[in-house]
A and B are shown apart, each in its own frame.
Chain A
Amino acid sequence: MDFTLSKEHEMARLLFREFAINEVKPLAAEIDENERFPVETVEKMRQTGMMGIPVPREFGGQGCDTMTYILAVEELSRVCGTTGVILSAHTSLAIDPLMQYGTPEQKEKFLRPLATGEKLGAFGLTEPNAGTDAAGQQTRAELDGDTYILNGSKIFITNGKEADIYIIFAMTDKSKGTRGISAFIVEKGTPGFTFGTKEKKMGIRGSSTYELIFTDCRIPAANMLGREGRGFGVAMGTLDGGRIGIGAQALGLAAGALDTTIAYVKERKQFGRPIAKFQNTQFQLADMATRVEAARLLVYKAAHLKDAGKKYSMEAAMAKLFASETAMEVTTKAVQLHGGYGYTREYDVERMMRDAKITEIYEGTSEVQRMVISANIL
């Protein structure tokens, strides 16, 4: 057993870290404050080949793997949770299902522009009445000749208004329950596809979270992703991979808060010495660092299993559960160690703590991860 990253993964990490520090960190506070989607960062990620990391080169991607992509999300999130989730939703939730379930024609038409970064992807499963219970889909898709007519709405969709290609779930046969759900590829600009409200959020405020509305929206039957009635499987399979991405986002947030706090406690003096000299500070940091390392091992292991073509559903759930709870705990402690300063927007840990919370909620709440894990072991 070898816990070291390969040389190419090490070099990729250096690239992502340099990119994150030079291009992403300087914007992190501003995009949070103004709830602004960082279009310029996405353009730079496109130029740097970061929008199609695990996609084979024949489809315009970089020909790398899940591990490389995970390192990118981790390093971006270390300085900016928003940028981390933009890449994660695009790659895990739009690119990945197209790679797994797309026909050769769909790959050529939709996967390629996503992989080159010419277009941005999003994933719409959640509805007002279908959250944790994703099977309760109310959006309908009715076949009419060679088109499906979509009606319904999706909420909380990441990359919402900025995306170009959406993976959308809808009921094609209500009588069949989960076996009646199908997945579709929907392009922005399709008549009948509009945007509703933008969410005002606690964290990841630069990400574009929107409601999607479909009113007699006609999409070609050729845009069905996977077979009819198999959409629920597409959604669950996609979320398995997505959880590794969110695990990496959470890991990055925790690691970033730890970095920042280590630097801070050496500078801040009380009682005539740096607060790093107090044993409580040292023990808190020791616990934080240990949890971050454990989260890292779980996330990397899940990524490794996915790359090896092995089953990884439970490991992805464990990675996401542990990493997101680590992010919440570590960022909270980071604020505590910063004292009053940590509670202000002058310091990054304030934003990091707000950003961390969502990792316990989306792509399956922590409760859902516990359900997945227990279902695997019972």
Chain B
Amino acid sequence: MKIIVCIKQVPDTHEVKLDPVTGTLIREGVPSIMNPDDKAGLEAALRIKDSLGAEVTVITMGPLQADVMLREAMAMGADRAILISDRAFGGADTWATSLTLASGIRRLSYDLIITGRQAIDGDTAQVGPQIAEHLGIPNVSYAESLQVEDGHVIVKRQYEDRYQLVKAKMPCLITALSELNKPRYMTPGGIFAAYREKEVQLWTVDDVEVDREQIGLKGSPTRVLESFPKSIKPEGTKIIPDTEEEAAQYILDRLKEKFVF
């Protein structure tokens, strides 16, 4: 079976700060890492490879520096790596990115595509499902567990307070949560092989069939109005009233306090 994993190089947000004036990310001097959800997706693919046998290809759209992340993926056990990189792709929003990635993926054969749920530098969670739309294949998002069974995937799909068990026929795309697993470490020998025996294939705009009007900044309809750090929600109060009436009264009082009524 053939698995494609989409991975993105992101600034390590543990160490990243927002510029208080412009509201944009200060990326200088911040180490780059493989996006955590994507890494979980890669680990899921590698586990399928370990148990059932599979060829795992990692693909990214990004600057040439993303080479190091692709080598890391191969040092963990990915078989092939593809870097889609060209100035023409610069400034892409999720639409242009997913279109570009989908056009790259069309050049490959696959049974399963795994992406992370969202990238920690954008938090949109759009690229994975959009790729599935472009390719016309089913998409199961928010996978917190994943199994492969004769031509199907069985995915436990996470919600805030419950989960869904979804069985989908391959080919399909799933988006992975970092809760899916604990990714393995690279191995020293894997690192040597990634640099000395394997290659990162570089695809430019000429190597993918994509409408040039729909890529890069030009092809990006999204306008970011404002970026701001996530505010932490307070924990909330828990009370255990004796009767239902008491509970209703309590809620009513709080709503009145907040002038809802």
Give A contacts to B, CB under 8 Å: 6-8, 11-12, 15, 18-19, 47-50, 53, 57, 61-64, 68, 72
Residues of B within 8 A of A72 (CB): 188
Taking a contact as CB atoms under 8 Å apart, the answer to whether B192 and A62 are in contact is: yes
Taking a contact as CB atoms under 8 Å apart, the answer to whether A63 and B71 are in contact is: no
Taking a contact as CB atoms under 8 Å apart, the answer to whether B189 and A61 are in contact is: yes
Our pick among B184, B185, B188 for the contact of A64 (Cβ within 8 Å) is B188
**Complex: how many Å from CA A64 to CA B184?**
19
Residues of B within 8 A of A50 (CB): 188
Q: List 13 A-B contacts (CB under 8 A).
A: A11-B72, A11-B75, A11-B194, A15-B188, A19-B185, A49-B187, A49-B188, A49-B189, A57-B189, A62-B192, A64-B189, A64-B191, A72-B188
How many Å from the CB of A14 to the closest CB on chain B?
8
**Complex: how many Å from CA A64 to CA B196?**
11
**Complex: how many Å from CA A18 to CA B191?**
14
Taking a contact as CB atoms under 8 Å apart, the answer to whether A68 and B195 are in contact is: no
Q: Which B residues between 183 and 206 are near A, CB-CB below 8 angstroms?
A: 184-196
How many Å from the CB of A6 to the closest CB on chain B?
8
Our pick among B184, B185, B195 for the contact of A8 (Cβ within 8 Å) is B195
Taking a contact as CB atoms under 8 Å apart, the answer to whether A11 and B189 are in contact is: no
Interface centre among B75, B185, B194, B196 (most CB of A within 10 A): B185
How many Å from the CB of B229 to the closest CB on chain A?
24
Residues of A within 8 A of B195 (CB): 6-8, 11
CB-nearest residue of chain B relative to A61?
B189
How many Å from the CB of B150 to the closest CB on chain A?
30
**Complex: how many Å from CA A263 to CA B223?**
41
How many Å from the CB of B185 to the closest CB on chain A?
5
**Complex: how many Å from CA A213 to CA B250?**
76
**Complex: how many Å from CA A48 to CA B72?**
14
Indicate whether B68 reaches chain A with its CB closer than 8 angstroms: yes
**Complex: how many Å from CA A57 to CA B196?**
14
Taking a contact as CB atoms under 8 Å apart, the answer to whether A15 and B185 are in contact is: yes
Residues of B within 8 A of A12 (CB): 188, 191
Residues of A within 8 A of B185 (CB): 15, 18-19, 47-48
Interface centre among B188, B192, B194, B196 (most CB of A within 10 A): B188
For B51-92 the 0/1 string (1 means CB < 8 A from A) is 000000000000000001001100100000000000000000
Q: Which B residues between 120 and 143 are near A, CB-CB below 8 angstroms?
A: none
Residues of A within 8 A of B75 (CB): 11, 15
Residues of B within 8 A of A48 (CB): 184-185, 187
Taking a contact as CB atoms under 8 Å apart, the answer to whether B186 and A11 are in contact is: yes
Taking a contact as CB atoms under 8 Å apart, the answer to whether B187 and A62 are in contact is: yes
Taking a contact as CB atoms under 8 Å apart, the answer to whether A15 and B189 are in contact is: no
Q: State which size class the interface on B falls in.
A: 10 to 19
How many Å from the CB of B50 to the closest CB on chain A?
12
Residues of A within 8 A of B68 (CB): 7, 11
**Complex: how many Å from CA A22 to CA B192?**
22
Residues of B within 8 A of A64 (CB): 188-189, 191-192
**Complex: how many Å from CA A57 to CA B187?**
13
Residues of A within 8 A of B193 (CB): 63
**Complex: how many Å from CA A266 to CA B188?**
35
Taking a contact as CB atoms under 8 Å apart, the answer to whether B192 and A15 are in contact is: no
A15-B188, A64-B189 are known; give 16 further A-B pairs, CB within 8 A. A6-B195, A8-B192, A8-B194, A8-B196, A11-B68, A11-B71, A11-B194, A12-B188, A15-B185, A15-B186, A15-B187, A19-B185, A47-B184, A53-B188, A63-B193, A68-B188
Interface centre among B186, B193, B194, B195 (most CB of A within 10 A): B186
**Complex: how many Å from CA A68 to CA B196?**
14
Residues of A within 8 A of B196 (CB): 8
**Complex: how many Å from CA A6 to CA B196?**
11
Taking a contact as CB atoms under 8 Å apart, the answer to whether B191 and A11 are in contact is: yes
**Complex: how many Å from CA A63 to CA B194?**
12
CB-nearest residue of chain B relative to A22?
B185
Residues of A within 8 A of B194 (CB): 8, 11
Residues of B within 8 A of A7 (CB): 68, 71, 195
How many Å from the CB of B67 to the closest CB on chain A?
9
**Complex: how many Å from CA A57 to CA B192?**
11
Interface centre among A11, A12, A72 (most CB of B within 10 A): A11
**Complex: how many Å from CA A79 to CA B187?**
20
CB-nearest residue of chain A relative to B193?
A63
Closest 7 CB pairs of A and B: A62-B189, A49-B187, A8-B195, A62-B188, A48-B185, A64-B188, A11-B191
How many Å from the CB of A51 to the closest CB on chain B?
10
CB-nearest residue of chain A relative to B75?
A11
How many Å from the CB of A76 to the closest CB on chain B?
13
Known: A11-B68, A11-B71, A11-B72. A63 touches B187 (CB 8 A): no
For B165-189 the 0/1 string (1 means CB < 8 A from A) is 0000000000000000000111111
Our pick among B72, B184, B186, B189 for the contact of A63 (Cβ within 8 Å) is B189
**Complex: how many Å from CA A71 to CA B210?**
45
**Complex: how many Å from CA A47 to CA B68?**
23
Residues of A within 8 A of B184 (CB): 47-48
**Complex: how many Å from CA A18 to CA B187?**
12
**Complex: how many Å from CA A318 to CA B184?**
37
Residues of A within 8 A of B190 (CB): 49
**Complex: how many Å from CA A50 to CA B191?**
12
